[in-house]
């Protein structure tokens, strides 16, 4: 015990991960461009990819922040849909056909505030259950996921609520950059600042590394966890607004595959599932990688099989990829441990 190791900087896996990932991201992009030619490498396809990734990319930040604390939030999709439904409901009631006739300039901000308020409430409830009641995050958020989705059913009665009034966000662009991408980039910057340049971010990493030491260092675990889960909720709310803006409708079961996808993104992006380690750069690269893979695999499968079943191949691939990444990480970690 306690013998010092004078070995110099063994390649810090935590820090070299984004670099390694950058190489993988580029490799995949170049690979698909070579194999699929201008079907993949074209302005059109780039634009089409750009409007797709922010949906799950934004949600991935919600998984990231909770995973960094050593927990997980499985209710983010439920939260996103419930928020989207709140916004859609308000929009149709206030400004829709046969609605109250409120001007869109007023109803749209109101709808967004409503969505974020609902999302905040969802996040705070998760925080209470995890931080105050001390329920295992997996079960707490599995429970609230059912609760939030259930509430969506109660509100809508099942069918989707349609409104096209946010389409300008979903389809719009500023200087050629789609608005959802701008939202994603802004979030990434905010997250980078939050995690690297605030005490809250610092405490998230420390608490995720060793809860007991955090308590003994005076870190208020309840406060940090409450904030992390609240933040995850708010991000899910933003994702919900993007859902609504992209597909012009809100329904209880939208995006049910996003839980797996965001967990995959987090793990691929080098966020440690036991908490304490992971960077925004890694996450962003991981989001891009997944989008390239998604589009590329889809095109490849369509070309190869020509059947509509190709879309299901992705589902298979995501699961396989998640397991593969975990096995590789495990291998790298074990080798590193031996090296110390």
Q: Which of 16, 42, 48, 146 binds another protein (CB under 8 A)?
A: 146
Place of tokens 């925080």: 127
Q: Which of 39, 102, 117, 273 binds another protein (CB under 8 A)?
A: 273
Q: Retrieve residue 263's tokens.
A: 């967990």
Q: Greatest CA separation found in the chain?
A: 76
Q: How far is the CB of 95 from another protein (least distance, A)?
A: 26
Q: Is 44 exposed, middle or buried (0-12, 13-18, 19+ CB in 10 A)?
A: exposed
* Choices 8-16, 46-54, 168-176, 224-232 (CB under 8 A): range interacting with another protein: 8-16
205 belongs to the binding site for another protein (CB under 8 A): yes
Q: Which of 63, 151, 161, 204 binds another protein (CB under 8 A)?
A: 151
281 belongs to the binding site for another protein (CB under 8 A): no
Q: Which of 43, 103, 133, 175 binds another protein (CB under 8 A)?
A: 133
Which helix (H) or strand (E) covers residue 161, if one does? Answer: strand 161-162
Q: Which of 39, 153, 162, 185 binds another protein (CB under 8 A)?
A: 153
337 belongs to the binding site for another protein (CB under 8 A): no
Task: Count CB atoms within 10 A of the CB of residue 46.
Answer: 11
* 62-101 binders of another protein (CB under 8 A): 72
**Nearer residue to another protein within complex by CB, 31 or 158:** 158
Residues in binding contact with another protein, number by CB under 8 A:
82
Are the C-beta atoms of residues 332 and 72 closer than 8 Å to each other? no
CA-CA-CA-CA dihedral for 281, 57, 169, 233, to nearest 10: -100
Are the C-beta atoms of residues 39 and 31 closer than 8 Å to each other? no
45 belongs to the binding site for another protein (CB under 8 A): no
202 belongs to the binding site for another protein (CB under 8 A): yes
214 belongs to the binding site for another protein (CB under 8 A): yes
Are the C-beta atoms of residues 15 and 270 closer than 8 Å to each other? no
276 belongs to the binding site for another protein (CB under 8 A): yes
Q: 3-state class of 314 per DSSP?
A: helix
Q: How far is the CB of 295 from another protein (least distance, A)?
A: 17
Are the C-beta atoms of residues 247 and 254 closer than 8 Å to each other? yes
Q: How far is the CB of 91 from another protein (least distance, A)?
A: 22
């Amino acid at each position: 015990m306690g013998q010092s190791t004078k070995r110099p900087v063994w390649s810090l896996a935590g820090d070299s991960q984004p670099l390694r990932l950058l190489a993988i991201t580029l490799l995949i992009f170049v690979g698909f461009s070579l194999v699929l030619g201008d079907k993949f490498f074209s302005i059109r396809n780039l634009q089409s990819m750009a409007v797709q990734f922010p949906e799950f990319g934004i949600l991935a930040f919600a998984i990231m922040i909770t995973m960094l604390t050593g927990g997980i939030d499985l209710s983010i999709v439920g939260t996103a849909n419930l928020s989207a439904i709140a916004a859609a409901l308000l929009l149709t009631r206030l400004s829709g056909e046969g609605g109250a006739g409120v001007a869109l300039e007023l109803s749209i901000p109101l709808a967004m505030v409503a969505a974020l308020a609902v999302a905040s409430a969802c996040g705070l409830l998760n925080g209470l259950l995890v931080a105050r009641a001390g329920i295992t995050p997996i079960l707490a958020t599995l429970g609230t996921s059912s609760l939030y989705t259930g509430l969506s059913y109660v509100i809508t009665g099942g069918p989707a609520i349609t409104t096209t009034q946010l389409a300008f966000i979903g389809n719009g662009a500023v200087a050629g950059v789609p608005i959802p991408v701008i939202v994603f980039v802004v979030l990434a910057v905010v997250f980078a600042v939050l995690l690297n340049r605030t005490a809250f971010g610092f405490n998230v990493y420390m608490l995720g590394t060793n809860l007991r030491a955090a308590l003994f260092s005076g870190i208020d675990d309840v406060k940090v966890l409450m904030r992390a889960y609240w933040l995850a909720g708010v991000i899910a709310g933003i994702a919900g607004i993007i859902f609504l803006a992209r597909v012009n409708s809100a329904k209880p079961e939208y995006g049910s595959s996003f839980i797996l996808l965001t967990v995959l993104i987090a793990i691929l992006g080098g966020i440690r599932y036991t908490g304490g380690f992971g960077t925004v750069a890694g996450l962003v690269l991981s989001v891009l990688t997944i989008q390239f893979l998604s589009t590329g695999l889809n095109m490849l499968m369509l070309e190869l099989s020509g059947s509509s079943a190709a879309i299901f191949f992705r589902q298979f691939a995501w699961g396989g990829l998640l397991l593969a990444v975990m096995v590789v990480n495990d291998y790298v970690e074990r080798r590193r441990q031996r090296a110390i």
